[in-house]
Amino acid sequence: MSPLTAFPTSDPRGAKAVAIAANASQWLKCRTKDGHKAYGIPASTSGRYYLVTRYTCDCKDAEFGRECKHILAVRLHCELVAEQRQPSYGVIPAALIVRED
């Protein structure tokens, strides 16, 4: 699967997914019966939670085989977490290099 880097501007689910992912700290973290990571994402109005993985969701939009905003948000969140776990190899500014000669 290719990295999720941009959303089509004509698709409103992209912007909604970004807003949902911004609240990932409020998600419930759990596992599916087969051990995969899953998240309980609060619905915007009903007070219920959707059970969402990187590929499935129990919301109405996903029932019709669509890739819903919740799935997009989970994928975005997972990519952000993976990116943050990568070691950063940056350039050290010359002013911070101490010479010992």
> Under a CB-based contact definition with an 8 Å cutoff, are residues 61 and 41 in contact?
no
Query: Cα–Cα distance between 63 and 34 in angstroms, integer?
Result: 20
Asked if residue 78 has pLDDT above 90, the reply is: yes
What's the pLDDT at 74?
A: 96
Query: Cα–Cα distance between 78 and 9 in angstroms, integer?
Result: 21
Q: What's the predicted TM-score (pTM) here? A: 0.73
What's the pLDDT at 29?
A: 96
Tell me the average pLDDT of the chain: 84
